[in-house]
Structure 1
């Protein structure tokens, strides 16, 4: 019932108040959540589910995480656990503060349960996030930090750009996600190629080993648009450099699956997420699981809009799941539904 109320009443009301601008809705939602500490116990009683799992050495109170992109600068960190999330991934953050791409850059395709974004890693920068975490502390659940390349930094200097963010944020992350797969930063996906990825991961692992006796797990987020051969090559590089896990997947450049009048909106550039990505995300998760013999833990993300969607990702080989588009379209009731569906899964 609460999910229906969000979809049929609250979300339409938010869009009316915000002049049908999805980015304004997003911004006001995160801002409101950042101001809710007095109500957290009440929210937690409604949404939180305790179903612990240990993955890549980290104990998660449940298997459902908030994907990167929702709270890039970590402004509402203490609200997300109260909405049922078992872990939170902030970012993608870059060494340099940057405004992102020109607006409009976020488009809702509600009839297709989808979103197109070309945000372009808009964030306040690694140092600003580190300062916020130092002042306010970490959330009550594991914190992942997604790091990416600053747009103005040439690909030739990408390694040092990533290393700066890793060092600045190292005291606060339970794991790091290396984002080399966003379609919205020019040239970024070239870092998925064997030589470039090998250099990047090698330097990040060496840097991490110098910062802690037990280095924070390093995960790589992959694009759903890779061919099987390209994905297999990427996985070989990841295994060679001791990567702790894979996040599958990022948004897609494909527009397959879009139907109805919203197909016209699909002509907008950017990454597509939501229901059209459900099947492909599952395929990539299954490929990663089978290619690595189940030895490389996977966070499954992409088109999770129901409890069965999440269960299908776990059945395909994922150990954890993340949501973004589903949460934006359906609200926190979806998190509770997924947690209840996955409760006791082994």
Structure 2
């Protein structure tokens, strides 16, 4: 087998699979006669290890994703791959844009990690390809992103919180629990979590504003340009695929990462709202948006710590202080 892993130190969060482990996974998924002829690790993932595999006798490659060992997972990011798997039926509205799951295994009998094999989607990552078009064409891309997000947010769920559970009866309970889990993870990482706990306390005090959200809607969790694929030959931007739905939630659509990114700048991305619909600008919605931003900042702080980006971790405290000032 031609094996091309990404070189990493033993201290890095992501740790590659061995060629033997990859072969074992494929035999479990496709039978004892399966032969892997090529395994190329794709360095685009920041959480799971991702490989493009070619198998003898199969015309199309497949994608193998291996979750981090559970001992390396944060409490607020526990079993994300299982959450993504549980989300598949709820995401059927965008199924033509998504990879299909060919096999998944949580048993840890082959390797001591959760893993999933999916179909390989054709296309070029949007961060690489969108810039090949003139900026006047970019709104076309963001209108498509708005339409995809709108279709996901229109899906109604049975509870608040992660799709795979645990579920909560109220939106405030789901949000406060998430903030408390992020704070506990920051403690475990040796980082100051006092500001996240202050946000959780404010949210608990004014939980009635959160509980104005009474209908759980499906949230993409992580969808933006980095998770979109584009047609490399189209004369204008065309989204051909969307990836990585391991952070799906049921809750307030305004709490979605996609909405956060759509409102981040007043540039071509404002075309997102043409197809999505106008955002709620009421005082209660603005207050809730600050709580959601604090939750995003706490999660970003954890991710930056995981990636050893010390300056970005430090900067997150100033950004959180601004959000807290607006909340209190």
What is the TM-score normalised by the length of structure 1? 0.29
Specify the structure having the higher radius of gyration (Cα): 2
